[in-house]
Structure 1
């Protein structure tokens, strides 16, 4: 079963409307917004690492406001406890029973602000829910809703009082990207809008969570030809054998790339994935999962540069197979 032309058109049109709505609050960052929306529809989680004031929190809030669903914001601090995130079981004197009080993680869009300021123990509380969509407290399992997306932010220049995210935590994020400062024209537009205070808080919701779930199901029907899968497999192997890399990408990274490539294809009005889709998404999906050789990293090499080199050197399949 594959997407019909009508389904493909509806998906692409809706995707464009969602991106346009978010762009009212985050001006001039169309590509990054598209990545974030694709991440949501691939049932993944997004890590935003950038300098202060670049719009990380605004992007997360705008995505949450665009959905007619539940949203929550968790300010990660060193004294934050795992139960502050997942929830806690409390004994009710009236009913003489234990009742579970869900934490802020039970929302459709969860903004984990400055996630690296919390202790590793608190960060580990996110591992289960980000991977399996459930929380286990006192032996009882509680499911979160659908859609469910964690958008976490990090500040790369302020390291005092922060904890490095463990590799297992980084691997739970389908994508990692940066926003960067807006260009000249976008900055002028932002400054001109200060009088109207156009921000994420003023956005109108465009889509229900049920409709988002339908888009997720439709994206899963996008065809991925064997030659594209072979291309992804080769890229995975190259990340592990690259001399600059200590630890390359796992199969989980390949699965993540294929999932989000399906969304990207549907958003482009296609019912099949092209090698170009893989090229567009590989850096955001692969780079944060790699560990470079410390000497190479000291010389200024980045994971993004390694992935880009692999994309430039590994031949992409030329045949376009629609299936």
Structure 2
């Protein structure tokens, strides 16, 4: 049966509206202090266990923040990024964008500690969200209240990670579409990109900008030529293993210097440079670069709460995993 084109478009619009309403209803079910009556020590256990790792390896903070982002952008914030592949299924964890994610041992340690106190009560999805917040706060970044009550998903598919995670080479049109599809607006895009103020990247994520931007052995004209010279000293052609700070000289400090380097055309990824190609995102870059941090911490906190509500499972949906790396 051939469905008329107009009806087909109308049907798809109805489905999208239905999904947005459903996701909104699930997000409303989240609340602060969700475990307070049944497991009052939960949040303290999460913070203390996370702190034991961050104190020894502060570089885990950006990794754990990235893990939360990668979880939420695929099937919503349901802990699906934590699930191991099996002989019959390649999970999100093994998709190319996720192969450099670190910090799974932190989530496992937190889950183990929580299970000893409150068995089969707390979801891995909630743990990921809280750990990301605590990790950022522990390196003197912003803090925010995390609404809780997420349930864990039972599905994790590698191809869905490839389809949903915005890669470092996206242009501004693609980035805006990706974020909008998750209920995030253009300001959220500019704000959450500021998470690149901490952490590192492998050369392979941006080396095409240095050596073969259009397939002719050229460089990216949107990247500062002097910075290209510096990056070439750290990343030789074909180098997939060397690492570079995303915010040089400030990669361990959560601040607004990221926006200053983007303004100077020194953003490491094409997706960073792309922020200058839109009125809303460019204005935010300039605001933060010129003001030295006007409201950035508050903005970041607000956008993180918003991101943490994407596609959540609540109530009787999903499950509470016994271990975070496998469905029950």
Q: What TM-score do you get using the length of structure 1 for normalisation?
A: 0.28
Q: What TM-score do you get using the length of structure 2 for normalisation?
A: 0.28
